[in-house]
Amino acid sequence: MAAYDVNQKPGETLEKYYKRLAKTADQRLVRLEKLAKEPNYEPAELWAYRRARLDITKWNGGKSPEFYRFNVNMPKDQEKLLSKINDIKTFLQRPTSTKKGITDVYKKRAETINRKFGTNFTWQQMAKYFQSGAAEYWDSKFGSKTALRVMAVLQKNKDKLVKAVGKVDLKDIDTSGASNVVKSKIKELLAENKLKVKDLL
């Protein structure tokens, strides 16, 4: 799908240009709100959407309307109108303003992690990992790189883990090639019994 053309068309007045962009942006906002109710897309109202809400609130004088939309209160001052147009363009040009863009972000993230850590996560698994709060928990506990190395080892042993979460010991897991730090973190996670393998792997 070709990217939306955010440039002003020949003969298009500034007002018409604003209305065209604002209408398109508002349609995307509505789609993102619906998308946030679908599996794997719960954070659709973050990223580009959140930035758009902040910009819209700024243009509404700090008020927080029930529905955040760009195509209201068109500035009469040309300089302000151009500034608002730039905010709308920023939103439209962000990858996470569309479903495809959000999917692509997760796919690239999965590809990078798989290449770097020797895993084979799908983009859906990566979406679940980052949305579940597990990423935040693991990052704060181990640091992101160590957390992903731990996940790589766990994924390779997922059949054992899924069958007996809470009963698996470090000796049951193949940690060949893993550093002592990674081994100790895996042991720590197993001991805590907080690892929701079925959800993450």
Q: What is the pLDDT of residues 79-93, one digit of tens each?
A: 999 999 999 999 999
Q: What is the Cα–Cα distance from 161 to 183, expressed in whole angstroms?
A: 15
Identify the pLDDT of residue 24.
97
Contacts with 126 (C-beta within 8 Å, 6 or more apart), sequence order: 106, 109, 110, 113
Q: What is the Cα–Cα distance from 108 to 127, expressed in whole angstroms?
A: 11
Model confidence at 71, pLDDT cuts 50, 70, 90, reads very high
Q: Mean pLDDT over residues 5-32, rounded?
A: 96
Q: What is the Cα–Cα distance from 59 to 54, expressed in whole angstroms?
A: 9
How is residue 164 annotated by DSSP? S
Identify the pLDDT of residue 190.
59
H or E segment to which residue 154 belongs: helix 144-156
H or E segment to which residue 122 belongs: none
Q: What is the Cα–Cα distance from 46 to 67, expressed in whole angstroms?
A: 15
Tracing tokens 């042991």 back to the chain, one arrives at: 187
Tracing tokens 């692509």 back to the chain, one arrives at: 104
Identify the pLDDT of residue 169.
44
User: Degrees (nearest 5) of the Cα angle 162, 118, 39?
Assistant: 55
The model's pTM is 0.69
Residues of the chain with pLDDT > 90, as a percent, come to: 40
Q: Helix or strand or coil: residue 62? A: coil
Torsion over CA: 60, 18, 16, 75 (sign): positive
Q: Mean pLDDT over residues 114-124, rounded?
A: 80
Model confidence at 12, pLDDT cuts 50, 70, 90, reads very high
Token readout for 127 is 């979406």
